[in-house]
Amino acid sequence: QVQLVESGGGLVQAGGSLRLSCAASGRTFSRYDMGWFRQAPGKEREFVAAITWIGGVTHYADSVKGRFTISRDNAKNTLYLQMNSLKPEDTAVYYCAAGGGTYPRSLLGYGYWGQGTQVTVSS
């Protein structure tokens, strides 16, 4: 079992940067594919980025490609999301998740979720 706790959210102006962290408990963090998702008010939760546990292969939503970078430090049991050139449309609650597998972009593949951290980008 994995427990996930996100941090690093906040209020930032458009064009700014934030780095989200997701601290995982449990000794098997390194064996999970990990993902970031986000949910804006009135919208469905959507895929942002994912990273595999084998090879560290990354996947990104088109809307964040080139601006966001997902990474993981297995020694620290921590997942990161570096967000640059932030836009108002990036405003959402950001969730990290463990699981992934065959379809890293699908919510259905993730069995463990954090509580979320709010990111607000002002124009």
Q: What is the pLDDT of residues 79-109, one digit of tens each?
A: 999 999 999 999 999 999 999 778 889 999 8
What is the model's pLDDT at position 54?
85
For residue 12, how many C-alpha atoms fall within 13 Å in the half-sphere facing its CB? 22
What is the model's pLDDT at position 27?
67
pLDDT band at 26; cut points 50, 70, 90: confident
Residue 89 phi/psi, 5-degree rounding, is: -70, -5
Return d(Cα 96, Cα 48) in angstroms, integer: 10
Mind listing the pLDDT tens digit for each residue in 38-82? 999 999 999 999 999 888 999 999 999 999 999 999 999 999 999
| 32-52 CB burial, b ≥16 within 10 A, e <16 | bbbbbbbeeeeeebebbbbbb
Neighbouring CB atoms inside 10 A of 73's CB total 12
